[in-house]
Amino acid sequence: MPKDAPTQLDLSDLGPYANALGLTVTAASSDEVQATWQVTEALLQPYGLLHGGAHCAVVETLASVAASIWLGPEGRVVGTTNSTDFYRATGTGEQLTSTARPLHRGRTRQVWRVETYDDSHRLVAAGQVALQNLRA
């Protein structure tokens, strides 16, 4: 672990990449992390739809945040797999809500599922991330 690494996660600043996605954490506990975000032109693929990579990034980010909260000061987590499925196309201006919940939390590994819904409560995307616990 880098010596200058923060000891606590700052939920108001998840890093430049997550900030570029426009993620706003609205709830965070060791059992669930929720964030809202809006589809902007910067997140579109050439056909004018939200790029699947944005979903993958949100899934990875929220799973990592949730897993880090659960592990706490015992160490850090790093993602080892990310599998994200896309169910509904979305376009510019749509508001999305993504929620991470645990599927498994063990000594060396965690698995979290993240679901994203639109304002009409329709499932837009869902993903699963496995993370390695790197204990201090």
* 117 in Cβ contact with 97 (< 8 Å): yes
CA geometry: angle at 21 spanning 97 and 92, to 5°? 70
Q: Is 60 a catalytic residue?
A: yes
Rounded CA gap, 88 and 72, in Å?
Answer: 34
Half-sphere exposure (CA, 13 Å, Cβ side) for 88? 13
Fill in the amino acid letter for 133.
N
Which is catalytic among the residues 32, 41, 60, 115?
60
Residues known to be catalytic: 60
